[in-house]
Amino acid sequence: MPYLPDSPYRPPVLLRSAHLQTVYPALYRRVEGVAYDRERLELPDGDFLDLDWSRAGAGRVAFLCHGLESGSRAAYVRAMARALNRRDWDVVVLNFRGCSGVPNRLLRSYHSGDTGDLATVVAHVTGTTRPRAAALVGFSLGGNVVLKYLGENAAAVPGEVRAAVAVSVPCDLAGSARRMAAWSNRIYMKRFLRLLRAKIAHKARQFPDRIREADFKGIATFEEFDDRYTAPAHGFADAADYWARASCRQFLPGIRVPTLLLNAVDDPFLSMSCFPVEEAAASPWLELETPRWGGHVGFVRPGQDEYYHEARAGEFLQEVGA
């Protein structure tokens, strides 16, 4: 499928700022018209996942996977759910472990390459609701999960899954982590680490013999956090091993359903290695669109209740006949 460097997205001049595009929706966007019904899915390892449904009475379902320390309540998730409901899709949001407002039960939680929980949810939903079609939509970390899931074992993806859309994806986790550690991104890093440290504080109370909150004081980068928690809690040797094995870019050639990857060139979270131009050019399944502007999960359209990436996702799913 094509590589589209000349995207039609053209924000007003005042919104041609990567940081404004990134921050404005998170702080000021309000999304009405989405009501969730929660389903708790018990897992074989003793943990659980909370699935939030926004139904349109359709015979097809879209799975939404959120970004780091986010969840179904985030404006960008609710807005995508609303946009897809309008286009006759039922939507189920997979809240990653510990991201539904209820702490998960185990020491482990979720990470950028954890496709097992997504596979479990897709199998559960397609097996119980029998949709005529399904689609996957992922944002940032959740986009990495979606792309890795589709490409690492295409034969295991249920036939109901007809298409996917991924937005603002750190396809190379090591490159993205280095970019996030830059001085210009210190505000974002501080926010993410504050949220992650709050999770660690709870884990320390749950498992005082296995994790100490004091070990996480003073951490300033994802590398430090992933070395101390993500890697050991999820079976990786260290942060570098985690990033190498969990990055979706290496799995993109294995994708076998029509897939749109929408990454803005000015995204402050992404390194140049997060733009898989060669993979898209070589693949009949992967379409890469790289707008000049858009920030990280921004793509703001002033005065319109659907942002560009939401309308584009609906358009793409219709184009490919999902």
Question: Among all residues, which ones are annotated catalytic?
Answer: 140, 267, 296
Determine the 3-state secondary structure of 48 from DSSP: strand
Q: Among residues 311, 290, 289, which one has the least CA distance to residue 300?
A: 311
**Rounded to whole angstroms, how far apart are CA atoms 236 and 39?**
31
* Those residues with Cβ within 8 angstroms of residue 180's Cβ, 6 or more apart along the chain or in another chain: 188, 189, 192, 221, 222, 269
Q: Among residues 173, 158, 178, 139, which one has the least CA distance to residue 260?
A: 139
Cα within 13 Å of Cα(321), Cβ side: 1
**Rounded to whole angstroms, how far apart are CA atoms 24 and 298?**
8
Q: Among residues 92, 76, 97, 85, which one has the least CA distance to residue 28?
A: 76
Residue with tokens 């809690």: 233
Determine the 3-state secondary structure of 226 from DSSP: helix
